[in-house]
Structure 1
Amino acid sequence: MTAIDPHGGKLVSRMTQKAAGGALTVTISDDLANDVENIADGIFSPLEGFLSQADFESVVKRGRLASDLPWTVPIVLDVDKETATKMKQAGDVALKTAQGPEFAVLHVEEVYTFDKQATSQSVYGTTDQNHPGVAKTLSMNEYLVGGKIDYTVRPGDDPIRKYRMTPEQTRKAFSDAGWKSVVAFQTRNPPHVAHEMLQKTSLTTHDGVFVNPLIGKKKSGDFADDVILESYIAMIDNYYPKNRCILGTLHTEMRYAGPKEAIHHAIMRQNYGCTNIIIGRDHAGVGKYYSPFAAQEIFSDYTDLVIEPIFFPAFYYCRKCLTFTNERACPHSPEFHEQISGTKMRSMIDAGQAPSEFILRPEVSKVIMGHKKPFVD
């Protein structure tokens, strides 16, 4: 096992062999079902279910649970008034998705309302409805249901889910590899060369890197999940030492909460057993809602986190230095820089033009260009 403790000191497990029955069955989205599984596996430790009112209000006001433990992104179940009343009366409620069987039981403890504007402002730093997180919050039902969950039936395997790892599995894998220091890398994009440089730079002073792409709901124009995963497999197979990198998928939706989501990402990776997490420029950002290094600056408010962030400036290729570098190490003017931009990469791919080797490894470029629809509609 790695030396780092889970967030809150104990790895939560809400898996059970009991049947997922209840007096009432409620259908939830696939993304919310993923988060119920994340609760059960301890990825969201110390949460044992959906937030109580006291915890929810504390997260919104302070970015911490009522116990004062850091927590910045509310994990909640929203329902309409009629469903809320039925759930409160039922007590134990079975959860299912539209296409799947009952997979979990929610032990209803309380039902409460919430302020959508205040929640948006706190979590996303804005109430602008053009922000995808704000738009989702404003479209939520009026009532939230708090209570612990018990998870009973996992969904069937698919080509992507087979890469999903629980904290128990990652901690064992890190231990088996002999790693004491593990750097997490969060991503929602295929790996351009700058990402590779960030990861490999961290490997010069740490035992291993845990590449943990986020699989789940994303905004239109983001890369599709299968493209992201296949691209990372191609990069790791061709450019990484076999004993220095582990690939595992994280199944949850992007919130685009910028700095608040950076803390959330760090907490999840601590639960996986990572000692560090790379926080780069505009981590978990969208548009121009956050300053480029806001996600790094917020960590000064969370010095009680056990996992330690690693801050990097943006990397680029310098034709004068003849290497990938950054502003801290390169003295040359922008005319020598090959900037590596996700926006630029998407534009080239949309135009059917393969990005240069200064942006994408050829093996990664081949994967992306081989997909007819590499982006989310």
Structure 2
Amino acid sequence: MGIAQPHGGKLVNRSTNKNYDNLFSVQVTADLASDIENISDGIFSPLEGFLLREDFEKVITKGRLANDLPWTIPIVLDVDKETATKMKDAKDVALSVNGTNFAVLHVEEIYAFDKNATAKGVYGTTDEKHPGVAKTMSMKEFLVGGKIDYIERQAETPIRRYRKTPRETRELFEKAGWKTIVGFQTRNVPHVAHEMLQKASLNTHDGLFVNPLIGKKKSGDYKDEVIVAAYETLIKYYYPQNRCYLATLHTEMRYAGPKEAIHHAIMRKNFGCTNIIIGRDHAGVGTYYDPFASQRIFDDYPDIGIGPIFYPAFFYCKKCLSFASERNCPHGQEFKEQLSGTKLRTMILQKQSPSEYMMRPEVSKILVNWDNPFVD
């Protein structure tokens, strides 16, 4: 076994030094700008731009592209009728963020779409209390498909210092001599239970690729800067430096549960991972998904090209005097130190350090000393 082949067999590169002057310009959000950069760098391979209608409809209904390659999250640009008309006439359109043109979209197709069908196909619900559904319902009425050319990188900021392209991570894995690489997706600071999952994987694989998601999240999630600082500290004090690599993934959380688990796996495959840890209620929100739906969906994708790793939930057993799971610990609930996200959040807001069985003290110190580590 070696480093995983890119999804679709080829790592996309849409960066260019061409000069596109005097084009009609369309403003996009910072999160969409990050995803355009992800297209350019091959993180979204095999996509070379925004989905055309046939691909979009197959993704919504089948969780695959028109060529039957697994793909579950639509990467699209939505525009209103007036903008759609101008783009149709222009063909080549500049994409702008914060007043700066950074990419060009070669318009191939403009089409209407069904928001309810889109929400149901991606999120499994049309309930607008779901953050992904709410975003879908707020989209403009037309989608624009076509390849992109990426011209100007986003300005370097402290939060981007760990951003890597698939070409960079693959080179690093090759240099380290890793043949089997386990990816770990997270939007949280590390609990000891997360650490146990990661280290269990290191027992049987060459390297661990910790890849926190940096981007728009819902209220109550941890802030990006807090997640990065917490993982920097955990890796410094508790991981062998030649077995673990930290890099950030700049995209937004969709909270699409099982469909997003497949999307997360594809991106880590493009980074070079051979495996990915898929946890309980991966990419879930509220009670919209069965806790193990994100694991079962991999049965529908035997051709995905990256191996999912499923673990039971870990806890600390005061009788065993070790971290354990339901599979290997026979003791009752009175002996189990369980991790409660709600309890942990309350303690942090009250500036109380969590138990060392819940979180490493060095990580706890970061959270307790942060003014407010949560997204408002």
TM-score normalized with structure 1 length: 0.98
- How far does residue 167 in structure 1 lie from its aligned partner after superposition? 0.1
- Where has structure 1 moved over 3 Å in runs of 4 or more? none
- How far does residue 92 in structure 1 lie from its aligned partner after superposition? 0.3
Equivalent in the alignment of 1:70: 70
Give SS of 2:107's match: strand
- Asked whether the equivalents of residues 164 and 250 of structure 1 are also in contact (C-alpha less than 8 Å), the reply is yes
Distance in 1, matches of 2:286 and 2:216, equals 17
Give SS of 1:137's match: helix
Equivalent in the alignment of 1:304: 303
Deviations 1:128-185, CA, capped at 9 Å, x for gaps = 1100000000000000000000001001111110100000000001011110000000
Q: Which amino acid aligns with 2:89?
A: Q
Equivalent in the alignment of 1:30: 30
Deviations 1:309-358, CA, capped at 9 Å, x for gaps = 00011111111111111111111111111111322211211222111101
- Asked whether the equivalents of residues 88 and 111 of structure 1 are also in contact (C-alpha less than 8 Å), the reply is yes
Classify 1:20/1:161 alpha carbon distance in 2 versus 1 (closer, same or farther; 3 Å): farther
- How far does residue 20 in structure 1 lie from its aligned partner after superposition? 4.3
Distance in 2, matches of 1:95 and 1:66, equals 26
1:10 paired to 2:16: no
Equivalent in the alignment of 1:48: 48
Equivalent in the alignment of 1:166: 165
* 1:199-238 to 2 correspondences below 5 Å: 199-238=198-237
Distance in 1, matches of 2:22 and 2:250, equals 26
Equivalent in the alignment of 2:39: 39
Distance in 1, matches of 2:205 and 2:243, equals 9
Distance in 1, matches of 2:292 and 2:226, equals 27
Q: Which amino acid aligns with 1:89?
A: D
- Asked whether the equivalents of residues 21 and 102 of structure 1 are also in contact (C-alpha less than 8 Å), the reply is no
Distance in 1, matches of 2:79 and 2:144, equals 7
Unaligned runs of 5+ in 2: none
Distance in 1, matches of 2:182 and 2:22, equals 41
Equivalent in the alignment of 1:86: 86
Give SS of 1:214's match: strand
Q: Which amino acid aligns with 2:251?
A: T
Deviations 1:32-64, CA, capped at 9 Å, x for gaps = 000000000000000000000000000001000
- Asked whether the equivalents of residues 26 and 96 of structure 1 are also in contact (C-alpha less than 8 Å), the reply is yes
Deviations 1:214-262, CA, capped at 9 Å, x for gaps = 0000000100000000000000000000100000000000000000000
- How far does residue 21 in structure 1 lie from its aligned partner after superposition? 3.4
Equivalent in the alignment of 2:330: 331
- How far does residue 368 in structure 1 lie from its aligned partner after superposition? 1.0
Q: Which amino acid aligns with 1:250?
A: L
**Identical residues among aligned pairs (%):** 68
1:180 paired to 2:217: no
- Asked whether the equivalents of residues 349 and 368 of structure 2 are also in contact (C-alpha less than 8 Å), the reply is no
- How far does residue 2 in structure 1 lie from its aligned partner after superposition? 4.6
Q: Which amino acid aligns with 2:74?
A: P
Distance in 1, matches of 2:357 and 2:20, equals 51
Give SS of 1:163's match: coil
- How far does residue 290 in structure 1 lie from its aligned partner after superposition? 0.4
Classify 1:305/1:22 alpha carbon distance in 2 versus 1 (closer, same or farther; 3 Å): farther
- Asked whether the equivalents of residues 78 and 141 of structure 1 are also in contact (C-alpha less than 8 Å), the reply is yes
Unaligned runs of 5+ in 1: none
Q: Which amino acid aligns with 2:279?
A: G
- How far does residue 100 in structure 1 lie from its aligned partner after superposition? 4.5
Deviations 1:236-292, CA, capped at 9 Å, x for gaps = 000000100000000000000000000000000000000000001000000000011
Supply the RMSD in Å over aligned alpha carbons: 1.0
- Asked whether the equivalents of residues 3 and 170 of structure 2 are also in contact (C-alpha less than 8 Å), the reply is no
- Asked whether the equivalents of residues 183 and 277 of structure 1 are also in contact (C-alpha less than 8 Å), the reply is yes
Classify 1:24/1:290 alpha carbon distance in 2 versus 1 (closer, same or farther; 3 Å): same
Q: Which amino acid aligns with 1:61?
A: T
Equivalent in the alignment of 1:276: 275
- How far does residue 366 in structure 1 lie from its aligned partner after superposition? 0.9
- How far does residue 22 in structure 1 lie from its aligned partner after superposition? 5.1
Equivalent in the alignment of 2:114: 115
Equivalent in the alignment of 1:260: 259
- Asked whether the equivalents of residues 2 and 174 of structure 1 are also in contact (C-alpha less than 8 Å), the reply is no
Equivalent in the alignment of 2:131: 132
Distance in 2, matches of 1:220 and 1:331, equals 37
* 1:336-355 to 2 correspondences below 5 Å: 336-355=335-354
